Amino acid sequence: MLETLDPKTARIIPLTEATEPGFGVYVHWPFCAAKCPYCDFNSHVRHQQVDQARFVAAFKAEMAAARALSGPRTVTSIFLGGGTPSLMEPATVDAVLSQIGQLWHMPDGIEITMEANPSSVEATRFRGYRAAGVNRVSLGVQALNNRDLKWLGRLHDVEDALKAIRLAREIFPRMSFDLIYARPGQTVEAWADELRQAVDLAVDHLSLYQLTIEEGTPFFGLHKAGKITVPDDDMSAELYEATQAITAEIGMPAYEVSNHAAPGAESRHNLTYWRYGDYAGIGPGAHGRLTSGGEKFATATERHPETWLAKVETEGCGFVDCESLAREEQADELLLMGLRLREGVDLARWQALSGRDLDPAREDFLIEQGFIERLGNSRLRCTPKGMLVLDAVVADLAC
Amino acid sequence: MSTTTRTPLDHIRNFSIVAHIDHGKSTLADRLIQSTGGLAEREMSEQVLDSMDIERERGITIKAQTVRLHYKANNGEVYVLNLIDTPGHVDFAYEVSRSLSACEGSLLVVDASQGVEAQTLANVYQAIDNNHELVTVLNKIDLPAAEPDRIKQQIEEVIGIDASDAVLISAKTGLGIPDVLEAIVNHLPPPTSEGGETAPLKALLVDSWYDTYLGVMVLVRIIEGVLSKGQTIRMMGTDARYTVERVGVLTPKMVAMDSLGPGEIGFITASIKEVADTRVGDTITEDKKPTAHALPGFKPAQPVVFCGLFPVDAADFEDLRAAMGKLRLNDASFSFEMESSAALGFGFRCGFLGLLHLEIIQERLEREFDLDLIATAPSVVYRLTMTDGSERELHNPADMPDVVKISEIQEPWIKATILTPDDYLGGILKLCQDRRGIQTELTYVGKRAMLTYELPLNEVVFDFYDRLKSISKGYASFDYHLHGYREGNLVKMSIMVNGEPVDALSMLVHRSAAEKRGRDMCEKLKDLIPRHMFKIPIQAAIGGNVIARETISAMRKDVTAKCYGGDATRKRKLLDKQKEGKKRMRQFGKVDIPQEAFIAALKMGDE
């Protein structure tokens, strides 16, 4: 039975309410102190001071453009991502959040998450962010041993990470941190040890990603040249399964492929993505999904920070794409995002968008093989076995 | 141009060029046209006579082409030189023999560094069979590796003709071209005509092709009598009658004439609907005043190799049909009939003169008509004797009747000639042996070995040529002709993927080779079929007996670790690609086999 605990009231809330996608605002801070060799995100290193006031003005302008498209909405979450948003001055964060409150309805107490790197953490800045309204922090810890941290190109060591976690727990009501696993040569035992340590440090949320060699990153070239050997599929599967077992055991089961939380402690913002809700994507290289006049628009902005800045300053917004998605495209997105969730997808919603039913033979076969299951009449989700081959399952169902 | 004065016979020379691929036949033809003024400089494109893209790219001639040259010789007389450029490949051996029979002499072109190749031999023997006088031409003497003396000696040893007065040229630079023209006039004989102009018309149908504007054009060589505009002609092989609309010659531009007389070569048009209505080698005569005897040697084209061609996208089936119809307009030797395969859907079973012919047709369909095709493994024509005594031909392994009803299977054999530097001899002997070959001759010419083998054609259609090329690093040359039918211990091998038979992969193989072939196919498919969410057994079987087996293990992990708001578009586009990819897949039960896997499995090129 699918159910969710409301963290405040501890009452079991019904499915329909629990899976309401909501409306999120994402703001991208595109700068990092250093570029990590595995990262293909839109992040840039600048040696001169970044003029944050100019960025604030541009964020505000672009948010106004998004607001024009979205119309009045109630914001259910805000996410400050990057890059390294903890390089922002607290005043910058404060200005951004205030502007969101000006443009949309922003109830008190909504989830406001900020990503932070352990190396850029100072108690005073954390307090500043908290004062500006940030109530959840997501730390890029990535590993709990110094050798791997160094290999991953991180600027912090384990001690910094522990300090940052302590500080975050002290200052923010909610916190989570990320780890990257399936590193070269990593054994299931070594990872299990590290993960158990992490679990002890965590409050109620962890993001655990398998290392992916992304095109265009330094790791990609090294991997191609045979200088990096990542665990093969069988090993990756074993590591993944160990991860599922350990987190479930301590009460932080996966609610998404790589995200683990105690019931009720899920990231509200990320749920909006996976439940295929609307979100405004603000800042260089940000993507959004905004419904307007019965159409769903996919927006994307200029990736290069200074080019984006100039574009916003001259044109009022940095959109390079604002495409109305065909219903079939929306159906695909709904499926590929929604099946990532343990709660699965609402098939009635998928059918309404795609205008068809799932191929019964294909569905039966996948059920019989133990990859997917039905929940009630209208929900479909991956089994833990199916989650391991999710991309293949989605391709099978969507095609 | 004058169309009234008939060229006297002794001022005509009809000749063709015999050469191995790449020895410079087409370049020489271009030079001859250029130096006799057949085309202005600006009209010369490389290799004028090879008009199809494929011909130019591969450096081969597929259709016979002809050109009439006017040459003022050193003796002050003007001669008409008719060059027939013949297809140089064994698949078109019959066409070559007809083209050669339209001429009295040949230029034997040999690369001055490479020397005689298998194809040179096959063609030169054909020329000799047609009583040709030969002028030996050593080409590419401008290259540092050229050894004209050694090659002359080799020609004398291998072919047994006098090469002492061989003309040394470089078709590329133009060196020696005037000497070639003089040699044609002085050493090749003029045509003869027993009955002359007054005899009833007797003309050889050398070739035909489809011209978009003029319809079917027929290339003819007049033996006796006169062929004129307005005449009613009769094809003696098919008994069809036509009224001649146009008569002319190719310079290579079309030039209209009123008539063609004895010894001449030219074209006619006569409202003929399809190229298939004209048979190469047929005799053309006048309907009212027919000749008493048709020319000897006429035979209809017989397909030797068959394969199935299927559209990758089932929606292209009608386009494929139309495209094949268009190609057949110009190539009557290519045949097709509809076929349906459980694996590949609707397509056509096609017959070809040989492997090169198959490749060319497939390539033209893909290139000129923009079709994506799957070709099944080429198969030969088997002759089955049934237990009830009846006989039938089998073109498609999928149609193989129940074995208990068959008393005997016969397969076609070939006689193959292979020339190779002796460094590769060991590997080639092994290859021929592995393919059930029977050696009939092994001789040496300098450092080159000349091998003659009898081989079953079904072993040759199956990647033999590719293997030969790779063993000899491209230095061996190969030629063959059909050499009758023999009984063979042949079995039908089926391939099953996840328990489902894949009809397109079934084949007839010799019992002794079945196990290895089955193992190779299973191993290959194991690498070619992507992992699925479940494990997939692949089996090769003869009847109910599994002779080889492999298993593709189930995919363990296939999930994107990170996927947030910014990734939805990227992932959707990836999904679109996968959907596109699925269209190119064939489903066998629950297994999707990518088209690339089929192509690669059917090729089995590199073992």
Asked whether residue A377 falls in the same domain as residue A229, the answer is: no
Pairing of strands B133-139, B167-168: parallel
- Cα angle for residues B371, B376, B378 (degrees, 5° grid): 120
CB contact under 8 A, A281 and B565: yes
Contacts of B579 in chain A (CB under 8 A): 395, 398-399
Comparing A324 with B67, which gets the higher pLDDT?
A324
d(CA B451, CA B435): 15
- ipTM for this model: 0.91
- Please judge whether B578 and A399 are an interchain contact, meaning their C-beta atoms are less than 8 angstroms apart: yes
Specify whether the CB–CB gap between A297 and A289 falls below 8 A. Answer: yes
* CB of B315 less than 8 A from some CB of A: no
Amino acid in position B224: E
Closest to A397 (Cα-Cα) out of A343, A352, A334, A341: A334
| Structure confidence at residue B51 as a pLDDT band (50, 70, 90) | low
In a domain, A299, yes or no: no
Of A166-170, B3-7, B162-166, minimum mean pLDDT range:
B3-7
Question: How far is the C-alpha of B534 from the C-alpha of B552, rounded, in Å?
Answer: 9
Percent of chain A with pLDDT over 90: 91
- Site of tokens 């500043």: A128
CB contact under 8 A, B558 and A257: no
The stretch B504-516 carries a mean pLDDT of 88
pLDDT of res. B208: 86
pLDDT tens digits for range B285-322? 999 999 999 998 777 777 888 989 999 888 899 999 99
Distance CA(B125)–CA(B24), nearest Å, equals 19
Out of B20-24, B175-179, B366-370, B499-503, least confident range: B20-24
d(C-alpha B540, C-alpha B522), whole Å: 7
Largest CA distance in chain B: 91
Which of A273, A298, A328 lies at the terminal end of a domain, its last residue? A273
| Residue where the block lists tokens 């969507």 | A398
DSSP string, A153-211: T-S--HHHHHHHHHHHHHH-SEEEEEEEE--TT--HHHHHHHHHHHHHH-SSEEEEEE-
- Under the banding of pLDDT at 50, 70 and 90, the label for residue B40 is low
Over the range A295-318, which residues count as b (16 or more CB within 10 Å of their CB) and which as e?
ebbbbbbbbebeebbebbeeeebb
One fold for B9-187 and B305-376: no
Based on the domain organization, do A159 and A263 belong to the same domain?
Answer: yes
Q: What is the mean pLDDT of chain A?
A: 93
Say whether B237 sits in a helix, a strand or coil.
coil
| Confidence class for position B55, pLDDT limits 50, 70, 90 | low
How far off is chain A from B523, nearest CA to CA, in Å?
A: 21
Cβ contacts of residue B194 below 8 Å, gap of 6+?
B224
CB neighbour class for A89 (10 Å; exposed up to 12, middle 13-18, buried from 19): middle
Most confident residue range from B82-86, B233-237, B313-317: B233-237
CATH architecture of B202-286: Beta Barrel (2.40)
Query: At the fourth CATH level, which superfamily is domain B9-187?
Result: P-loop containing nucleotide triphosphate hydrolases (3.40.50.300)
pLDDT given at position A247: 97
d(CA A75, CA A133) in angstroms, rounded, equals: 14
Q: What is the mean pLDDT of residues B548-567?
A: 94
Mean pLDDT, range A235-243, rounded to an integer:
96
Same domain for A100 and A229, yes or no, is: yes
Contact (CB<8Å) B564/A210: no
Helical axes A158-171 vs A123-132, angle rounded to 10°: 40
Average of per-residue pLDDT across A12-39? 81
Task: Name the minimum distance, in Å, from the CA of A332 to any CA of chain B.
Answer: 7
- The answer to whether residues A198 and A94 belong to one domain is yes
Is residue A174 a part of any domain in this protein?
yes
Contact (Cβ atoms closer than 8 angstroms) between residue B23 and residue B139: yes
Residues 6+ apart with CB under 8 A from A20: A275, A277
Report, as an integer, the average pLDDT of A248-270: 96
pLDDT at res. A2: 42
Residues A381, A235 share a domain: no
Q: Which CATH number do you get for residue A235?
A: 3.20.20.70
Q: Which long-range contacts (CB under 8 A, 24 or more apart) does B170-173 make?
A: B170/B139, B170/B140, B170/B141, B170/B142, B171/B24, B171/B27, B171/B28, B171/B30, B171/B31, B171/B139, B171/B140, B172/B24, B172/B27, B172/B140, B172/B142, B173/B142
From B325's Cα to the closest Cα of chain A, the distance in A is: 34
The reply to whether B237 sits in an annotated binding site is: no
> How far is the C-alpha of A190 from the C-alpha of A182, rounded, in Å?
10
Nearest to B559 among A270, A300, A390 (CB): A390
Is 90 exceeded by the pLDDT of residue A227?
yes
Residue A83, pLDDT above cutoff 50: yes
Nearest chain A Cα distance for residue B590, angstroms? 9
How far apart are the C-alpha atoms of B157 and B170, rounded to whole Å? Answer: 24
Q: Which residues contact B136 (CB under 8 A, 6 or more apart)?
A: B108, B110, B152, B155, B161, B163, B165, B166, B167
Does residue A329 lie in a domain region? no
B23 is in an annotated binding site: yes
Chain B positions touching A273 (Cβ under 8 A) are 563-565, 568
> What mean pLDDT, rounded, does chain B reach?
86
**Of A306 and B399, more confident:** A306
HSE, CB side, 13 Å, CA atoms: give it for residue B374. 29
Concatenating the DSSP letter of every residue in B91-153 gives: GGHHHHHHHHHT-SEEEEEEETTT---HHHHHHHHHHHHTT-EEEEEEE-TTSTT--HHHHHH
* Three-class SS state of A126: helix
Cβ neighbours for B378, distance < 8 A, ≥ 6 positions apart: B305, B306, B307, B355, B358, B461, B462
What digits encode the pLDDT tens for the residues B243-285?
A: 999 999 988 788 899 999 999 999 999 999 888 888 888 999 9
pLDDT of residue B606 exceeding 50, the answer is no
Looking at the domain assignment, is residue A199 inside a domain? yes
Q: How far apart are CA A25 and CA A2, in angstroms?
A: 27
Element spanning A136, H or E: strand A136-142
Q: Is the pLDDT of residue B60 over 60?
A: no
Domain membership of residue A391 as a residue range: 342-398
Residues A262, B56: Cα–Cα separation, whole Å: 71
B559, B563, B568 ranked by CB distance to A387: nearest? B559
Residue B140 has pLDDT above 70, yes or no: yes
Residue A170 located in a structural domain: yes
- Residue B65: partners with Cβ closer than 8 Å, 6 or more residues away: B49, B50, B51, B84, B85, B250, B252
Judge if A259 and A349 occupy the same domain: no
**Would you say domain B305-376 falls under CATH 3.30.70.870?**
yes
Q: SS3 string of A370-381?
A: CCEEEECCCEEE
Q: What is the mean pLDDT of residues A84-108?
A: 96
Q: What is the distance in angstroms between the Cα of B340 and the nearest Cα belonging to chain A?
A: 24
Among the ranges given (A1-15, A174-188, A225-239), the one the predictor scored with the smallest mean pLDDT:
A1-15
Is B278 annotated as contributing to ligand binding?
A: no
Mean pLDDT of the B26-38 span: 83
Tell if the CB–CB gap between B569 and A337 is shorter than 8 Å. no
Higher-confidence position of B153 and B64: B153
**Are residues B528 and B605 in contact, defined by beta-carbon separation less than 8 angstroms?**
no
Q: Find out whether the peptide bond into A263 is cis, omega within 30 degrees of 0.
A: no
Q: What is the arithmetic mean of pLDDT over A227-231?
A: 94
Q: With contacts defined as CB-CB under 8 Å, which chain B residues touch A270? A: 564
Q: A357-392, pLDDT tens digit by residue?
A: 999 988 999 999 999 999 887 899 999 999 999 999
Mutate to test the interface with A, among B532, B557, B558, B573 (most CBs of A within 10 A): B557
pLDDT band at B587 (very low <50, low <70, confident <90, very high): confident
| Residue A309 within any structural domain of the chain | no
Q: Which residue do the tokens 């399952």 mark? A: A393
Residue type, B329: L
Tokens in use for B397?
């392994």
d(CA B531, CA B518) in angstroms, rounded, equals: 21
Q: Does B390 touch chain A (CB under 8 A)?
A: no
Asked if B488 contacts B409 with a C-beta cutoff of 8 angstroms, the reply is yes
Q: What percent of chain A has pLDDT over 70?
A: 95
Q: Evaluate whether residue A297 is within a structural domain.
A: no
> Is the confidence at residue B54, as pLDDT, over 60?
no
**What is the C-alpha to C-alpha distance for residues A300 and A278, in angstroms, rounded to an integer?**
14
- What are the E-state strand segments in B24-77? 65-72
Q: Which helix (H) or strand (E) holds B53?
A: helix B53-58
Which residues, in sequence order, are CB contacts of B325 under 8 Å at separation 6+?
Answer: none
Matching residue, tokens 């079309």:
B254
- The verdict on residue A318 lying in a domain is no
pLDDT of residue B329: 75
Q: Nearest Cα to B13, choosing from B30, B31, B45, B36?
A: B36
- The CA distance from A149 to A117, in Å, is 12
- Cβ of B555 under 8 Å from any chain A Cβ? yes
Same domain, yes or no: A27 and A131: yes
Query: Residue B2's pLDDT is what?
Result: 41
pLDDT of residue B338: 92
Q: Is B26 annotated among the ligand-binding residues?
A: yes
Q: B492-603 in CATH: which number?
A: 3.30.70.2570
Do A346 and A269 lie in a common domain? no
Write down the pLDDT at residue B303: 83
Q: Which residues have C-beta within 8 Å of that of residue B257, sequence separation ≥ 6?
A: B1, B3, B247, B248, B249, B266
Domain boundaries, chain B: 9-187, 202-286, 305-376, 382-488, 492-603
| Residue of A236, A333, A393 lying closest to B572 (CB–CB) | A333
CA A121 to chain B, closest CA, distance in angstroms equals: 24
Higher pLDDT, A253 or B463: A253
Q: Tell me if B583 is assigned to a ligand binding site.
A: no
Residue B6 pLDDT: 82
Q: Which of A191-200, B230-239, B357-366 has the highest mean pLDDT?
A: A191-200
For residues A260 and A138, membership in a common domain is answered with yes
Spell out the alpha helix ranges (H) of A35-109.
52-70, 90-103
Q: Is B25 annotated as a binding residue?
A: yes
Asked whether the beta carbons of A285 and A83 are under 8 A apart, the reply is no
Size of interface A-B (CB pairs under 8 A): 105
* Residue of B295, B298, B317, B299 whose CA lies nearest to B308: B317
Q: How far is CA B574 from CA A212, A354, A362, in A?
A: 16, 18, 21
For residue A276, list chain B residues with Cβ-Cβ distance below 8 A: 568
Does domain B382-488 match CATH 3.30.70.240? Answer: yes
Number of structural domains found in chain A: 2
Q: What does the pLDDT read at residue B141? A: 94
Q: Which of A52-56, B187-191, B601-605 has the lowest mean pLDDT?
A: B601-605
Give me the residue from A209, A279, A398 closest to B575, CB to CB. A398
8 Å CB contact of A273 and B556: no
Do the strands B591-594 and B585-588 form a parallel or antiparallel pair, or are they unpaired?
antiparallel
- Does residue A115 sit in the same domain as residue A241? yes
CA distance B576 to chain A (A): 8
